[in-house]
Amino acid sequence: MAGETVLVVGGAGYIGSHTCLDLANKGFRPVVYDNFSNGHREFVKWGPAEEGDIRDRARLDEVLAKYKPAAILHFAALIEVGESVKDPVSFYENNVIGTLTLLSAAQTAGIGAFVFSSTCATYGLPQSVPLDESHRQVPINPYGRTKYIVEQALADYDQYKGLRSVVLRYFNAAGADFEGRIGEWHTPETHAIPLAIDAALGRRQGFKVFGSDYDTRDGTCVRDYIHVLDLADAHVRAVEYLLRGGESVALNLGTGTGTTVKELLSTIETVSNRPFPVEYVGRREGDSTTLVANNDKARDVLGWSPKYDLSRIIESAWNWHAKSNQH
């Protein structure tokens, strides 16, 4: 498979750019297709970039004809849950209509391998923890619903059109390239680790914790934080699996280890050696008490297992935000 071209749609974003790095390290040629609405041109370092929107069928056809990729990795989604509630139309237009346009272009181009960036938000409120792939899917916000709709479409494309896919349901992506070349950079930032690191760096007044009365070991929510490089590794393994003829499958990507918000903040203080103000406020609507992955299936199907623990996640994130990210 060395030398094969892979089209990385949304490859200038956070997880997409780290996956391009891993693809290049493993001998693939990543081609980035991005409209740069949320991605960063500075993050395109390991292959050519083509500017375009996933809703632009003519542009997609042009790029696919030019590069003839063996597979497509699809990261180009709107992801902010709160925004999806305020503006569901944009989420359906981009995440659903855009993905269906991309799939149609892939079919016409004869591409039979597709890796989809999905989310544990398709499960909705957990009925049991840790969550495995057989857990019911009842998303509770427009973001989760748009991802679930695409998952259902992919199952139909596989059954009726022969387009094989790997659906990867992430838990909480975190961390950065250890060399500090790329990292997490969202505008505005909504994720816990960068917000807390910014508080430790004095870039924010402090950090707000939503809810301290949950039924957990310290009263705060539990989440499964997974290093972005572990996610990238899983995506490349998914490409290799499909190119070897693997069947369509949906897989959870998490560590299987839960971390409370208090434990997360304590680790950030330890790594940074910089205490910062923390304010405890009321619960936030829609937050689940505990979200932790059962990742056994990804281990079995892809031979994948996460390498980095929470301390390494925070070390890499601290290095990126303290030295590299422009604010």
Could you give the residue numbers annotated as active site? Answer: 143
Which DSSP symbol is given to 208? E
- Angle CA 66–72–76, to nearest 5: 105
Q: Which two tokens stand for residue 115?
A: 């890796």
Residue type, position 21, single letter: L
209: left (phi > 0), else alpha (psi -120 to 50), else beta? beta
CA 37 to chain centre: 17
210 neighbors 281 (Cβ within 8 angstroms): yes
What does the block give as tokens for 133?
């792939």
φ, ψ (nearest 5 deg) of residue 208: -100, 130
Task: Tell the residue number behind the tokens 């892979």, with chain if given.
Answer: 6
CA gap 132, 155 in Å, rounded: 18
Rg, Å, the chain Cα set:
19
Whole-Å CA distances, 205 to 22, 196, 278: 36, 10, 9
Q: Report whether 33 contacts 13 (CB < 8 A).
A: no
In terms of Cβ atoms closer than 10 Å to its own Cβ (0-12, 13-18, 19+), residue 213 is: exposed
Q: What is the largest CA-CA distance in the chain?
A: 56
